[in-house]
Amino acid sequence: AQSVTQPDIHITVSEGASLELRCNYSYGATPYLFWYVQSPGQGLQLLLKYFSGDTLVQGIKGFEAEFKRSQSSFNLRKPSVHWSDAAEYFCAVGAGDNAGKSTFGDGTTLTVKP
Amino acid sequence: GAGVSQSPRYKVAKRGQDVALRCDPISGHVSLFWYQQALGQGPEFLTYFQNEAQLDKSGLPSDRFFAERPEGSVSTLKIQRTQQEDSTVYLCASSPLRGTGGEQYFGPGTRLTVT
């Protein structure tokens, strides 16, 4: 069975500081990994995804994530956080085009201090 | 272009009533997904369609839940004899690719409250 753990329920960072959101997954084969962001009143939006190849993937809004198979992790990073990044972030794992089920973590809420 | 839309955005039902939640995916998208999202949690998978075929319904919580996508576009999630525990947000997403191989585009959700 696939599962996702986001250990940090809530993170607060100052504007301009760096950010790392943790994600650990459990999956029996090569996973399809995703990070989504959900702002208040908005639908979930994809930030980035990893399927194969380069383990460091770039996404929108200046985000990046690194896939580490040995640690079963897919942490999201941003070098300098903007106030508009305050939102809830979800990591998800899927099985690719052979299956329809994605499993999401419970999310990390990011607060940005001025 | 238009994104995924869901209607109604809010639904209040009395316990025991039947409800129908509609999802209009992005035109041409092959895959359609339904999720529940409880407060403070991530989306939880309910069911998956590839075109008109329902390929995975393993997440439907009981036989009171039924989903269809008869022409491979619009989908309806129906809940019969609603219970209070059905109160939550229902999300729909669509994808241009099969399965979970691609980005899912999410709708704004329908918040169901059962009284």
Task: List CB contacts (< 8 A) between A102 and chain B.
Answer: 33, 43, 45, 100, 104
> Cα–Cα distance between B79 and A94 in angstroms, integer?
26
Inter-chain CB proximity B58 and A46 less than 8 Å: no
Structure tokens at B17: 């009533």
Please indicate whether, in this complex, the C-beta atoms of B101 and A100 are within 8 angstroms of each other. Answer: no
Q: Does the pLDDT value for residue A96 go beyond 70?
A: yes
What is the average pLDDT across A61-89?
96
Q: Which backbone phi and psi does B13 adopt, to 5 degrees?
A: -130, 145
A22 CB-contact burial (10 Å; exposed 0-12 / middle 13-18 / buried 19+):
middle
Q: What is the dihedral of CA B98, A27, B45, A45, to 10 degrees?
A: -70
Which residues are paired to B77 by β-bridges? B21, B67
d(CA B52, CA A60): 32
Average pLDDT, chain A: 93
Closest by Cα among B81, B97, B91 to B34: B91
Mean pLDDT value across residues A106-112 = 97
* Nearest-CB residue to A101 (from B48, B93, B106): B48
Give the Å distances, CA to CA, from B100 to A99, B19, B97, B106: 6, 28, 8, 13
Closest CA to A93 of B45, B108, B3: B45
- Whether residue B1 is predicted with pLDDT greater than 70 in this model: the reply is no
Instruction: Tell me the β-bridge partners of B49.
Output: B32, B54
Q: What tens digit of pLDDT does each residue of B6-62 get?
A: 999 999 999 999 999 999 999 999 999 999 999 989 999 999 999 999 999 999 999
B3/A92 touch (CB, cutoff 8 Å), yes or no: no
Q: Is B60 on the interface with A (CB under 8 A)?
A: no
Q: What SS3 class is residue B35?
A: strand
Residue A60, SS3 per DSSP: helix
Which residues from A are below 8 Å from B98, CB to CB?
A: 97
